[in-house]
Amino acid sequence: MSNSMTPSAKQLSLPQLVDTRNAAEILGRSAATLKRWRCEGVGPSWIAIEGRVSYDVAVLLEYIRKNTRMPSVRAMQEDTREAV
């Protein structure tokens, strides 16, 4: 049997898992909000192992990155009008 099929320790990247409370802290939301999001099928992907819910920190950071919005020109114009 060849070892080419088994990943080496360098290739295997283990996820850094956190519980719902810590995930909520990372996202700036409450644990109840994350629970609601899971029920609604929205929010970041999560993992359930033997009834315990965990989140991969890399997934949480990617979720934040994907939901980061840049101000638009229109929003800047509206801010300028309000300042006058």
What is the reported pLDDT for 42?
97
Q: Whole-angstrom distance between the N-terminal and C-terminal Cα of the chain?
A: 75
Q: Is residue 62 part of a domain?
A: yes
Q: Is residue 3 part of a domain?
A: no
- 10-48 pLDDT, tens digit per residue, is 677 899 999 999 999 999 999 999 999 999 999 999 999
Report pTM.
0.70
Q: Is residue 41 part of a domain?
A: yes
To 10 degrees, the CA torsion angle through 52, 16, 58, 8? -120
Q: Is residue 5 part of a domain?
A: no
Q: Is residue 44 part of a domain?
A: yes
Q: Is residue 7 part of a domain?
A: no
Q: Is residue 6 part of a domain?
A: no
Helix runs in the chain, H state only: 20-27, 31-40, 57-66, 73-83
Q: How many domains does the chain have?
A: 1
